Amino acid sequence: MEILATVLVAFVAFEHFYFLVLEMFLWTTPKVIKTFGIESVAFAEKTKVLAANQGLYNGFLAAGLVFSLLFQNVSMTKFLLCCVIIAGIYGAYSTKKIRLFYFQSVPAILAIISILFLN
């Protein structure tokens, strides 16, 4: 893969490791509550197991992307980027928060475009 594509894929992986940390370990902190627009600390407490599960899935996406880079498996990289794009679209649609699309899907879209056109 070209350097730009590798950097973009690594960025998407980093984002998802960051999401893992936020959702699995920091879900009930004031910063995360504000960032995710959670209605209250009590609601964050009630949903922290669900958030942790979501964070785990983000971690799997990140690990898969890193694995695909290390083993130069372009097909796997493209598949996982498509998963990230779809998750971002669905997340933005279901939460009515378009910024989710920009933070999650757009970097993955740029990464997959760079793979398709630079390779």
Instruction: Give this prediction's pTM.
Output: 0.92
Give ∠ CA 35-27-48 in degrees, rounded to 5: 130
The CA distance from 32 to 97, in Å, is 15
CA distance 19 to 24: 8
- What confidence tens digit (pLDDT) does each residue in 9-58 have? 999 999 999 999 999 999 999 999 998 889 999 999 999 999 999 999 99
| pLDDT value at 1 more than 80 | no
Domain positions in the chain: 3-118
Alpha carbons 93 and 75: distance in angstroms, whole number: 27
Amino acid present at 66: V
As a whole number of angstroms, the distance between CA 110 and CA 87 comes to 15
The whole-angstrom separation of Cα 84 and Cα 61 is 8
Mean pLDDT estimate for the chain: 95
